[in-house]
Amino acid sequence: MKQPTDFPRVPLAMLPTPLEPLERLGRALDMRLWMKRDDYTGLGGGGNKVRKLEFLMPEAIRQRADVIITTGGHQSNHARIVAAAARRFGMDSLLVLRGAAPNTWQGNLLLDRLLGADLDFLPYDEYPDLVAPRIEARAEELRAAGRRPYVIPLGGASAKGALGYVLAVEELAGQWARLDDRGPDYVVAAAGSAGTLAGLLVGLQRIWPEARLLGISVAWPADRVRERTLELAAETRALLGWAEPRAQEALIVTDEHVGPRYAVPTDGGLAAIRQTAQTEGIMLDPVYTGKAMDGLITLARNGRLGRSPRVVFVHTGGMPSLFAFADALLSAESAAR
Ligand SMILES: Cc1ncc(COP(=O)(O)O)c(C=O)c1O
């Protein structure tokens, strides 16, 4: 049996990230609420992907890669953090993004430019079919030019990447031990490509088997998130040589807060951003954490979490994209007055 720390890892994140009590927002939601500030992981503006890249970059370094290729949405935080991690090791990056080249460079796209990433834009609708062949073709072109490309999957979602979140649960448990001798009732996180949920699930089932993990999908149907999470969690346990848990009821996934589709702001998400800013002075984002907080608020309001639950919300980052959604944020703010 292994531990995540037995695997090759490079220090990229500022750890431990703070665990903050959110007393005012918690009172409004009738819960005891803490926020795990993984928006403060540091590198390139921070966010959850920094923990994953600590375990993904060693293989790129071992292969002596000089350019990292990855993919994501227009406002991909993952792509921006990969571009920053590449720079830490003197490498370049190529980001294959979903959507046409923008007219205005804002949010993560602006940061991608500042990091000197090479950007390749694919038409929104054709992206699902085009992305894998495009990455392969660009890698081939780079190899033909004498470069050494290394590909990191969408969202850094792999068993190795998930090790970062198995360790994050250990880190959280160390902080929590000073607060309470029982574990939290719920840990809540936004779910995109499911690597974060998978790592959290493996870590939670080991340390607090009674805790429930609430994944709020921001893109995929709940069934797909659930299947992918369980699949990645099983691969992560296999890597560690850890036994499968007897039951999987720890994982609860909802897709009720996606809205029209990925990266399209929702009224609930925008309201959750304002409520969190105006009760706690903390910024969320319209693509991930705002929708996740909307999910938590709605479940709490509907009495689905029981009385006064102890909840940890994992702030997975994403703040740069706020600036790319200024119009939606401002019109929602005016309408709420
Ligand atoms: C801010 C933020 N939160 C949550 C997620 C979702 O993480 P995962 O892809 O591991 O589900 C992402 C992924 O890009 C993200 O950027």
Please state the pTM of the whole predicted model.
Answer: 0.97
pLDDT at 247 over 80: no
Determine whether the shortest distance from the Cβ of 217 to ligand 1 is under 6 A.
no
Query: Could you report the per-residue pLDDT of 150-194, keeping only the tens digit for each?
Result: 999 998 889 999 999 999 999 999 999 999 889 999 999 999 999
Which residue, by CA, sits nearest to atom 16 of ligand 1? 77
pLDDT at 248 over 80: no
> DSSP character for 156?
G
Hunting for tokens 């309001």 — which residue is that? 301
- CA of 47 from ligand 1 middle (Å) equals 8
Q: Which residues are catalytic?
A: 76
- CA of 49 from ligand 1 middle (Å) equals 7
Same fold, 4-47+157-336 and 49-155: yes
Determine whether the shortest distance from the Cβ of 83 to ligand 1 is under 6 A.
no
Determine whether the shortest distance from the Cβ of 318 to ligand 1 is under 6 A.
yes
Q: Which fold has domain 49-155?
A: Rossmann fold (3.40.50)
Q: Is the dihedral of CA 163, 128, 77, 29 positive or negative?
A: negative
Q: How many CA atoms lie within 13 A of 116 on its CB side?
A: 8
Which sequence spans correspond to the domains of the chain? 4-47+157-336, 49-155
Which of 332, 314, 316, 318 lies closest to 22 in space, CA to CA? Answer: 314
- CA of 337 from ligand 1 middle (Å) equals 31
At 197 the pLDDT is: 98
What is 4-47+157-336's CATH number? 3.40.50.1100
d(CA 127, CA 56): 24
Determine whether the shortest distance from the Cβ of 316 to ligand 1 is under 6 A.
yes
Query: Could you report the per-residue pLDDT of 311-320, keeping only the tens digit for each?
Result: 999 999 999 9
Average pLDDT on 297-304 reads 96
At 174 the pLDDT is: 97
At 134 the pLDDT is: 98
